[in-house]
Structure 1
Amino acid sequence: MHTGVIYAMLAALLFGASTPFAKLLVGQMSPFALAGLLYLGSGVGLLVCYVARAALQRHAQERPATLSRSDLPWYAGAVLAGGVAGPVLLMLGLESVSASSASLLLNMEGVLTAMLAWFVFKENFDRRIFIGMLLIVAAGVLLSWDHAASQGGLWGMVAVIGACLCWGIDNNLTRKVSASDPLQIACIKGLVAGSLNLAIGLAMGSRLPASTTVLLTGVVGFAGYGLSLVLYVLALRHLGTARTGAYFSMAPFAGAALSLLMLGDAPDALFWIAAALMGGGIWLHLTESHAHEHEHLPMAHAHLHRHDEHHQHSHDFEWDGAEPHAHPHQHAPLRHSHAHYPDIHHRHEH
């Protein structure tokens, strides 16, 4: 299985599992405070990982490429959309929507991510990918129809879908910086978004719960928002935005299954029909194959890499042969044919 697909699936499982746990925490603090603690848990946990990794690295070339000044506008937009607005909308939605239904509605993140990638950022897609997304949209509509009559449920679903739109914007902006260190990207996002959300919550009069609840929230945030985002950025680097979003659509199924076990939600027939439609859409994405002759134009960037067919270059420093390593490098023009995704080296026109 492609490395990027594995990263995306692991990211999906971690994030999906966090939804029912977040549902248990809703009501114990305000949505802003809860989102803040989730992201702070992510940021603090990843900061520990970042420091530990730096202590173990012997050479500068072993370190992933850090964010550059040109990355900052894209990254700031990603943090505001996905780290501030998205989590708050999700917590608001979870106040009136069951965890299993919210988990399935979160499939809309993949759809909205893909729509933005295709029509705003001009990423390539084909009929198979489009049909898969239609199935996921149909499932979301069916699920919404099922709950539209419930008191407060409709606005809760609107909030969850709004969170998905924020994360769709976040995903597309993060792809712009995905060649940089994913641990750094996720760590800074967690610290900034967490601090801002928590400050807003405290300013609005929210009180923090017991220390054990704060610790539990931080652990959920570290796994579901921190490690998940690191893996998601790695998947973006390998797969592009739309396809990573499609594979990430597995997240709601993980969350729905766990919420059924933990919270005793009772799914009805429409729930399972929606799940089947979403499963069919994800299957179409998983079985995609894309290969054609293409040309690589000259390009210069920096990221962790091995000397494969796309990285045949010399070094202006003494290299001991260790791989992977990171440094600024130049790609020469190249024309060939092989199966590929719209990764950081295959963002060409068709």
Structure 2
Amino acid sequence: MLANWNAVMSSPPLFLPLLCGTLATVSWSIGNVLSKAALCCIEPLSLLTGQLAVSAASLTVLSIWSGAPPRLSDWRAGLPGILQPALASGLSIFGLSMLPASVEAMLFAVEPPLIILLAWFILGENPSRAIIFLCLLAVAGVGFLSWTSDPDPSATRGLGVALVLAGVLFASLYSIAVRVMSESVDALRLTTASQIVAFALVAFAWIGFRPLPTLSVSIGDVVPVVGSGLFLLSIPFLLYGIALQRMNATAAALLLPLVPVFTAIFASIFLQETLTATQWLGAAAVLLSALGTPMALRSQPHGSEVSSQPPVRRSLE
């Protein structure tokens, strides 16, 4: 089994990572739309618990199949899972229940510039003027995305944006945390351990808020939970992990803006979601910031580049 995994990892150096990275962005987009559809009949915490159960189980099976089953000592490698996906996905899925799927995905495009800012404050890695400008552009884009002319007395849109941005913050902190671990911990092992830890934490919270005797499950609930768990967590995390192992992180980051683009397309087709002209302006600003960040990093002097990590919900290092 391990030989099969090694054969996949030793495939041609360019085609495989580009294919895996692109398929990962499509998978995240499908997962976003499935999650939004599932939220119409499943409350957020139950949905996240089910998604993490599916993801942790599928990654555990894959780890066993590859000849590297999870070990009890992996709990240290799984600690970043508290940040992502436990906190990051937990907050963002509550935000998704209040926002269109396309807006939630576009807000997550703010993560690359946010990682740069955190690396500046936490690791002392000084960003260039271009990076600072792109970060400000992303902030402006978020403002346009969250703006609406419709009366919203309950302020649900503003709360949804705040929850998603809090999720982005925890996802960015996760990316900073695993930078130290990624050189010594295998990507599959790290992801599996992180999601097992995240599942344990979220399941504990779910049991506390919703006792097991009150649970009733139908096939109609299981299908979107399993589908979104696979497409949002396990499949894209693994695919993007393969891409990151075989190509430069800066080059891989160029694929990330495809996530909100594909999500907007799928949400428009399957959920009939539409954005206002102002929100499209904000989306363009956020996407421009996300696309420009890796280019700006590439232009920095050697040694000052920040290794951008993939997003939360959208990250495997």
TM-score interval w.r.t. the shorter chain?
0.7 to 0.9
When the two chains are superposed, the root-mean-square deviation of aligned CA atoms in Å is 3.6
Aligned length: 288
Q: Among residues 50, 55, 58, which one is paired with 1:37 in the alignment?
A: 50
Indicate conservation of the 8 Å contact 2:31/2:232, yes or no.
yes
Pairwise mapping of residues 293-308 of structure 1 onto structure 2 (< 5 A)? Answer: none
Aligned partners of 1:144 and 1:343: how far apart in 2? 25
Q: Shift in Å at residue 170 of structure 1?
A: 1.3
What is the alpha-carbon distance in structure 2 between the residues aligned to residue 250 and residue 195 of structure 1?
31
1:162 corresponds to which of 153, 162, 166 = 166
- Specify the alignment match of 1:197 in structure 2: 202
Q: 1:153 to 1:341 in 2, by over 3 A?
A: closer
Which residue identity lines up with residue 126 of structure 1 in the other structure? S
Q: Where do 1:220-235 residues align within 5 Å? A: 220-233=228-241
1:137 alignment partner, one of 129, 136, 139:
139
Whole-angstrom distance in 1 between the partners of 2:96 and 2:27:
18
User: Aligned pair in 2 of structure 1 residues 68, 29: CA closer, same or farther (>3 Å)?
Assistant: closer
Deviation (angstroms), 1:116: 1.1
Of 13, 19, 22 in structure 1, the residue corresponding to residue 32 of structure 2 is: 19
Is the partner of 1:229 in helix, strand or coil?
helix
More strand as a share of residues: 1
CA drift of 1:168 comes to 1.1
The Cα of 1:245 is off from its aligned counterpart by: 6.3
Measure the CA separation in 1 of the matches of 2:270 and 2:217: 21
1:58-117 deviation digits (Å, cap 9, x = unpaired): xxxxx8xx9997x965741x2111121112211211222122222222223333222212
Q: Residues 128, 44 of structure 1: CA spacing in aligned structure 2 closer, same or farther, 3 A cutoff?
A: same
Q: TM-score, normalised by structure 2?
A: 0.75
Alpha-carbon shift at residue 137 of structure 1 (Å): 2.0
Report if aligned partners of 2:82, 2:201 keep a CA contact under 8 Å in 1: no
Alpha-carbon deviation of 1:161? Answer: 1.0
Name the CA distance, whole Å, in 2 between partners of 1:74 and 1:124: 28
Partner of 1:182: 187
- Please state how far the C-alpha of 1:286 moved relative to its aligned partner: 4.9
Aligned mates of 2:137, 2:197 — CA distance in 1: 36
Q: Report which stretch shifted further, 204-213 or 4-13.
A: 4-13
Contact 2:114 2:135 in 1 (8 A): no
CA shift in 2, pair 1:253/1:232, >3 Å: same
SS of the equivalent of 1:248 reads coil
Q: Which protein has the bigger helix share?
A: 2
Equivalences for 1:92-171 in 2 at 5 Å? 92-123=94-125, 125-146=127-148, 149-150=151-152, 151=154, 152-171=156-175
Separation (CA, whole Å) in 2 of partners of 1:5 and 1:286: 16
- Change beyond 3 A, Cα 1:10–1:168: farther
Specify every segment of 5 or more residues in structure 1 that has no aligned partner in the other structure, as ranges: 55-62, 295-339, 345-350
Quote the sequence identity (%). 19
